[in-house]
Copies of this chain bind each other. A is one copy, B any other.
Amino acid sequence: MSRTAADPYEKCAVETALDLIDGKWKGVILFHLMGGTLRFNEIRRRAPGATQRVLTKQLRELEADGLILRTVYAEVPPRVEYRLSPLGESLSPIIEALKAWGTAYQESGAEARRAA
């Protein structure tokens, strides 16, 4: 954050935000948590293709970043619930916007062009 140029501050904000949702499954996780609290295996089911290791890691990162809350119930069998923190919820409009934009992009056939 040197602030040598005119507006490096603004630039960093975009970077900061993107860094937080950077990770192959973070967007997906956040999106599904927007629907309410989920347990580990429930998230896993909604993110087929992601392994436990990766999922766990990204959940921990999201937690460390303060975007989600992790609640462990000391019972047996173990139960761990994940839900959006207030900060995470404040991302909802953006996730929704991304979803809408992604949908439009897909339907525009731009994906096909990309593959080509």
What is A's interface to B at a CB cutoff of 8 Å?
2, 4-5, 8, 10-18, 20-22, 24, 27-28, 31-32, 45-48, 64-66, 87, 90-91, 93-95, 97-106, 108, 110-111, 113-114
Contact = CB atoms under 8 A, between A and B. Distances in A.
A97 B105 contact: no
Contact of A17 (B24, B93, B98): B98
A102 B15 contact: yes
B13 A103 contact: yes
A94 B14 CA distance: 10
A22 B28 CA distance: 14
A32 B27 CA distance: 24
Contact of A87 (B4, B15, B65, B108): B108
A98 B18 contact: yes
A47 B64 CA distance: 27
Contacts of A4: 48
A31 B16 contact: no
